[in-house]
Structure formats: structure tokens, C-alpha cells
Amino acid sequence: MTLVTANPELNVHASEQAKTGSPWVLVVGASSGIGRAVARRWARAGSDVLLAGRDVEDLERSAADLRLRCGRRAEVIAFDALDFDSHESFWRECLDRAGGDLAGVVMLHGWMPAQADAQNDFALARKAIDTNYTSAVSLLTLAANDFEQKKRGFLCVFSSVAGDRGRQSNYAYGSAKAALTAFLQGLRNRLFKSGVTVLTVKPGFVDTAMTWGLPGLFLVATPEKVADDVFVAVGKRRAEIYTPWFWRYIMLIIKSVPEFVFKRMKL
């Protein structure tokens, strides 16, 4: 049954739920600054949420808060992105907890090393690639195959503006996000005919632990603003968003600088 309310945003959400048949949304990386806001946004709109991540105690506190404030079901599942062998059983557990069916997945786990460290230590560069890209490919493969077979569901995955053009200040992280963006383009292309939506999210600077103390930040957004943008974009079945919106134009300018100029810039 589709619930029609006076709030147009809730109506978008209700019609999405009616399509998928499940009230459950999985948030991977739910202990992240943005992940908490995302879980809250979906729970406020009437979803039940599965919170996945490494810090189970932190996630249990968030789950209790969501149950209290939003009156929705909220459950915690341990997930380590770098433990690839555990991904299949993790996905099965998610489906079990959700009664066999998820409305969608929001995937936000990520890790950004200091570039100076990553360029001197391959283990750190590899950790950035594995956390931001390889683990996402592994989990998205499981989720995409399941949703494709059921012909429904949404995949909402956090890439970054850092993946739009490699810069000397963070290209280890940026290259992993660029790979993720390309993977999502292909996945979206493949899943289109099955009705499964794939949203690529490209945030600019957001006020979270990832950016805490970094120099040169400007136009920093709140996690709540990003969560609102993402929620609306999923409801509208969008393919890609920059959040806040003006980063699309900032990146358009950055991408259009000719390489012979760009390579001389201190970015």
C-alpha cells in the first residue's frame, strides 16, 4: 500500500518503497559523519535501517537513537570492507535481517590517507584503493546481482569530486574514487533494463572526521545537507549528483583547464 502524505518528499519515498516491497535500507559505513546523517534521513522518512560498519558499539548507539527518535527499526551488522572473504556472508546476513529483500543500499565507507604518506608507502596507497574501490566492487557485485534478479532496488554510492581530476595533493585517494565512478557508470548502464537505479554521489568538502584539520577547505557542507540531497536524488532516480550542487560547476572549470597549464598548478 502506498501512503500518500502532504509532504511531497515522503510521497516520493513511499512510492519507491511500494516498488521494492521492503522497508529496509542498508547503510554501509554508517559510523561515518555523512553515514549517520543518511541513516537518520531515511529513518525520518519511514525506512527501517541496517547500520553496517566496524565500530559496532558506535553503531549500536546510533541504532538506539534512531529507534527512539524516528520510531523505526534499526539494526547493526559488523562489516570490515578489507575482509573481502566475509562479504558474501555479510550480504546474506543483511538479506536475512531484512526478511529476504532490501529497498536499497547506501554505500559510504571510505578512507583518505595523507598523500605524502601514500606516495612513500605503497601499503597505504593500496589501502586507499582497497577501501574506496576494491571493497566497493566486491559488495556491489553481490548487491547488483541480487537486485538485478529481483528487478528492483537502488544502489547509492559515494564517490568524490576528487575522482574528477587527479591532483598532486590527493591522487592516491582520488584515483580510487575515479575508478569507482567509472565502475558505477558501467553498472548503471548494465542495470538500466532491470529497473535497478545506480546513483553516483560526488560530494565536495563536507564537515566530517575525514576532512577534520585539513588546510585550504572552502564551501564546507554539513553532513545533513548532503544526506538531504542524496535522499531526494534517490527518489528522483537520478544517475549522478554533485553535493552541494555548485561543485558540478567548480569541477567543470577544474576539468577544463588544459593539461599543460594544470600540471604547473599547485592543487
Ligand X SMILES: NC(=O)c1ccc[n+]([C@@H]2O[C@H](COP(=O)([O-])OP(=O)(O)OC[C@H]3O[C@@H](n4cnc5c(N)ncnc54)[C@H](OP(=O)(O)O)[C@@H]3O)[C@@H](O)[C@H]2O)c1
Residue 39 vs residues 59, 89, 114, 244, 248: alpha-carbon distances, Å: 11, 22, 28, 19, 25
Residues 104 and 234 sit within 8 Å (Cβ to Cβ): yes
Number of residues that bind ligand X (CB under 6 A): 27
**Known catalytic residue at 249:** no
Ranges of beta strands (E only) in the chain are 24-28, 48-53, 74-78, 104-107, 154-158, 197-203, 240-243
Q: Does 131 bind ligand X (CB under 6 A)?
A: yes
Q: Which of 209, 259, 261, 263 binds ligand X (CB under 6 A)?
A: 209
Q: Select the residue interacting with ligand X from 13, 41, 109, 152 (CB under 6 A).
A: 109
| Interface pick for ligand X out of 81, 128, 191, 196 (rule CB under 6 A) | 81
Please identify, using beta-carbon distances, which residue of 111 and 147 lies nearer to ligand X: 111
Q: Which of residues 20-49 bind ligand X (CB under 6 A)?
A: 29, 31-35
| Dist. CA 123–CA 72, nearest whole Å | 41
Measured from the CB atom, the residue of 22 and 31 that comes closer to ligand X is 31
Q: Measure the CA–CA gap between 226 and 245, rounded to whole angstroms.
A: 10
Site string for ligand X, 158-187 (x = CB under 6 A): x-x---------------------------
Shortest Å, Cβ 119 to ligand X: 19
Residues in the chain: 267
User: Rounded CA gap, 30 and 25, in Å?
Assistant: 11
- Shortest distance in whole angstroms from residue 193 CB to ligand X: 28
CB atoms within 10 A of CB 132: 28
Catalytic residues: 173
Q: Where does this chain bind ligand X (CB under 6 A)?
A: 29, 31-35, 53-55, 79-82, 108-111, 131, 158, 160, 203, 205-206, 208-211
